[in-house]
């Protein structure tokens, strides 16, 4: 993950911890008379996007976003 600073529309400084190469597993289940039953599973290795925005920088995310001009 990388940490990217940005400004909220009101000028407040915010941070976004972001990845574009994450792994993800999505499981679709339906409720039956006996509980939950898995219907489908989608697995993505190295192709999932995930981000979390916060007012403070996450200390666990040590890589900084670099702007390329």
Q: What is the pLDDT of residue 68?
A: 86
**CA-CA distance, 5 to 37, in Å (whole number)?**
42
CB atoms closer than 10 angstroms to residue 57 = 16
> Domain ranges in the chain?
2-64
What percent of the chain is predicted at pLDDT more than 90? 87
Q: Which tens digits make up the pLDDT trace of 8-40? A: 899 999 999 999 999 999 999 999 999 999 999
Q: What is the pLDDT of residue 52?
A: 93
- Note the pLDDT of residue 32: 96
- CA 21, 2, 61, 56 torsion: positive or negative? negative
pLDDT at position 67 over 90: no
Region 32-60: what's the mean pLDDT? 95
């Amino acid at each position: 993950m990388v940490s990217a600073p940005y400004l909220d529309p009101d000028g407040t400084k915010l941070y976004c911890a972001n990845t574009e190469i994450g792994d993800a597993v999505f499981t679709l289940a339906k409720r039956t008379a006996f509980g939950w039953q898995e219907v489908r599973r989608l697995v993505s290795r190295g192709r999932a996007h995930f981000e979390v925005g916060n007012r403070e920088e996450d200390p666990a995310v040590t890589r900084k976003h670099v702007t390329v001009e």
